Structure 1
Amino acid sequence: MDKKDLKDEKLLYNVRETAAVLGVNVHLVYELINRKLLPALRLGSLKVRKSTLIDFVERYEGMDLSDLDNIKELQQNMN
C-alpha cells in the first residue's frame, strides 16, 4: 500500500463516527469502550480502529447487546 492509498483509507474513527458506523448513539459507544467490549485508543480523543469495528461486529453477531450486563444470544422470532 503506498502513501496515497493509506491517506485515502480511513484507519481510525472518533466516537461520533464510530456511533454512525454502528448505527447507535455516542453514549453506547462510550459504554462499550468503558466496559472494554470495544477496544479504543486515545490519540487526542478516543479513536477506534476500522479493523476493531469489523472484529466487534463479527464477535457479537447474533448476540443481544441491549443489556450490556446480560449479553446473550439473540432470540430468533419464528413468525
Structure 2
Amino acid sequence: MVEPYKPLYTVPEAAKVLRVNTNAVYDLMNKGKLPYLLLGSKKVRGSDLERFIEKYPTEGERR
C-alpha cells in the first residue's frame, strides 16, 4: 500500500521517499528538476514530489 503524501517534506524526508541520498535531492533542486520552497531551509511540497515521481522517465522511455 502506498502511503499518502504529506504537505511538506524536508530534504532528508524527500531523499527517503526517493530512496536516494540528500546530495541527490539537492542536485535535483539545483538543476530545476524538483521544485522547492525556501522556508528557513529547502522544503518540497508533497504534490511536487508526487508529480516529479510520476513524470520521471522510466528506463524504457529513456531510449
Normalised by the size of structure 2, how large is the TM-score? 0.83
Partners of 2:11 and 2:55 lie apart in 1 by: 19
Select which of 26, 37, 42 maps to 2:38.
Answer: 42
Q: Which runs of 5+ in 1 are unaligned?
A: 1-8, 65-71
Identity of matched residues, %: 47
RMSD of aligned alpha carbons:
2.1
- Partner in structure 2 of residue 12 of structure 1: 8
Residues 63 and 43 (structure 1 numbering): CA distance in 2 closer, same or farther, change over 3 Å?
A: farther
Normalised by the size of structure 1, how large is the TM-score? 0.67
Q: Which runs of 5+ in 2 are unaligned?
A: none
Runs of 4+ in 1 over 6 A off after TM superposition: none
Give the deviation of 1:58 after TM superposition: 0.8
The structure whose RCO (Cα within 8 Å, separation 6+) is larger is 2
Number of positions where the alignment pairs a residue of Structure 1 with one of Structure 2:
59
The structure having more radius of gyration, on CA atoms, is 1
